[in-house]
Structure 1
Amino acid sequence: MIIHIVAGGPRNQLPDLKKTNNENIIWVGVDRGVHYLLEENIKPVKAFGDFDSVTETELSHMRKELKEIEIFPSEKDETDTEIAVNWALSKKPDKIKLFGVTGGRLDHFFGNVQLLIKGLQQGTLISIHDKQNVLFLVNKSKHSIVRSSVLPYISFIPITPNVTALTLEGFKYPLKNRNIQWGDTLCISNELDNEIGTFSFKDGILMVIRSRDLSPII
């Protein structure tokens, strides 16, 4: 089971949601993200939010279209997206993908990146997707990564203060047992030389970002 959560970030940052839709996907809407889904004729199974970013007409339409919509007060201890992620994790899915969580306020964006740690703690991969990037977090281990013409650039950023013994094989710029820490830009914008590359490290948490240039838009 894969759960897709669509939040209310700028509409122009969303990839084509229909291309990611299939019968194995469970859709969840957050605040204005519910409106985005309904515009694409995708009905989420759950909707969460304070809905302060939609009009009364749009909210009325959501109420008519959806069976399960939970409305929360604006003043609360969790963001709407965190509420949705917690619900999704309770379902024990294989993966959770977040959309509509980039391109707007930086405080919300960095908060959403922090939510990915919840997935690591519970053994569920949570990733963030927009029209230009995919990002996710990994724990120490050896990982494989496949070349993509759509997302050719690969960056590695330490989430913990230090990531030790980072090794990159099959990359244009390989590394061998290199320690990286907060503030380093050494591992920004690499590319694969081989069809499949590997990366490994001994300690820490690493953010992996796959990116492409803005044109053409897919």
Structure 2
Amino acid sequence: MKTLIITGGTIETDFVKTYLETESFDMVIAADHGLEMAKLLDIPVNYILGDFDSLNPSILQEVKNRIVNENTDMVLKEFPPEKDYTDTHLAIVTAIEVGATSVTILGATGTRIDHVFANVNLLSIFLEHQITAKIVDSHNQIYVIDTDTYLSKENVHGKYISLIPYTDSVTGVTLTGFKYPLHNATLVKGESIGISNELLEEKGIIHLKEGILMVIESRD
């Protein structure tokens, strides 16, 4: 099941409108303030969850009224502010519980760098469950891989492709079709050798033997 998570970071409405013209989803989960963006863009939501400390109270009350008074399948999960998981983490857990096979997260980046780092770290949960997942904003697409991955120049999110070790080291990294090729290299934390590569050919291959790589496709 192809699932969209809308969470409470920075979302550029024009980008999201354009993005959703070519992407469709079977399930939409709104985490806290992400519901406001869903409402603004008229995106139907299946699950709404969070502690709702950053959501306009009138919108939350509107949702509660709809659930009580209308025949809707929308599910509301309200959590106390003193919780162990962030709202995005709760949305990820829910996505897995409802059977997501691929997940796109909007609103996972922004000015709260602590949340950005946490959200990138949460991508490992999907990897453990063998679910493809990515964080997307107007400038970047972020995902993690632990197996050979094929890229298409036509479909990458931007010109630049950066590879950053997600684990302490990633061994056997071989890049084919890239401007800066690698052959059986080891990438380790604390080095920047994988930053700002580009595809030269229409197709590119990232091969690795052991470890996890974070891949960031970026446009300026």
Question: Could you tell me how far 1:133 is from its partner in structure 2?
Answer: 0.5
Q: Given the superposition, is the C-alpha separation of residues 93 and 211 from structure 1 closer, same or farther in structure 2, using an over 3 Å criterion?
A: same
Which residue of 72, 79, 91 corresponds with 1:84? Answer: 91
Give the residue type in structure 2 aligned to 1:11.
Answer: I
Question: Could you tell me how far 1:12 is from its partner in structure 2?
Answer: 3.3
Structure 1 counterpart of 2:8: 8
Asked if 1:184 corresponds to 2:185, the answer is no
Give the residue type in structure 1 aligned to 2:63.
Answer: M
TM-score after normalising by structure 2:
0.90
Question: Could you tell me how far 1:177 is from its partner in structure 2?
Answer: 1.0
Matches within 5 A, 1:15-26: 15-17=15-17, 19-20=19-20, 24-26=25-27
Instruction: Give unmatched runs, 5+ long, in structure 2.
Output: 68-73
C-alpha contact (below 8 Å) 1:92/1:124 kept by paired residues:
no
Q: Give the secondary structure class of the aligned counterpart of 1:15.
A: helix
Give the structure with the higher percent strand.
Answer: 1
C-alpha contact (below 8 Å) 1:2/1:96 kept by paired residues:
yes
Q: Given the superposition, is the C-alpha separation of residues 138 and 14 from structure 1 closer, same or farther in structure 2, using an over 3 Å criterion?
A: farther
Structure 2 counterpart of 1:45: 46
Structure 1 counterpart of 2:31: 30
Structure 2 counterpart of 1:119: 126
Which range moves more in the overlay, 172-181 or 52-61? 52-61
Structure 2 counterpart of 1:216: none
Q: Given the superposition, is the C-alpha separation of residues 121 and 34 from structure 1 closer, same or farther in structure 2, using an over 3 Å criterion?
A: same
Provide the rounded CA distance (Å) in 2 between the counterparts of 1:187 and 1:138: 14
Query: 1:151-192, CA deviations, whole angstroms, 9 ceiling, x for partnerless residues?
Result: 121000001000112111110111111111001111101110
Instruction: Give unmatched runs, 5+ long, in structure 1.
Output: 214-218
Q: Given the superposition, is the C-alpha separation of residues 105 and 26 from structure 1 closer, same or farther in structure 2, using an over 3 Å criterion?
A: same
Q: Give the secondary structure class of the aligned counterpart of 2:61.
A: helix
Cα root mean square deviation, aligned? 1.9
C-alpha contact (below 8 Å) 2:123/2:143 kept by paired residues:
yes
Query: 1:79-123, CA deviations, whole angstroms, 9 ceiling, x for partnerless residues?
Result: 111111011012232201111010131111111111111111111
Give the residue type in structure 2 aligned to 1:201.
Answer: L
Question: Could you tell me how far 1:200 is from its partner in structure 2?
Answer: 0.7
Q: Given the superposition, is the C-alpha separation of residues 62 and 18 from structure 1 closer, same or farther in structure 2, using an over 3 Å criterion?
A: farther
Asked if 1:104 corresponds to 2:105, the answer is no
Q: Give the secondary structure class of the aligned counterpart of 2:125.
A: helix
Provide the rounded CA distance (Å) in 1 between the counterparts of 2:97 and 2:14: 26
Question: Could you tell me how far 1:32 is from its partner in structure 2?
Answer: 0.7
TM-score after normalising by structure 1:
0.90
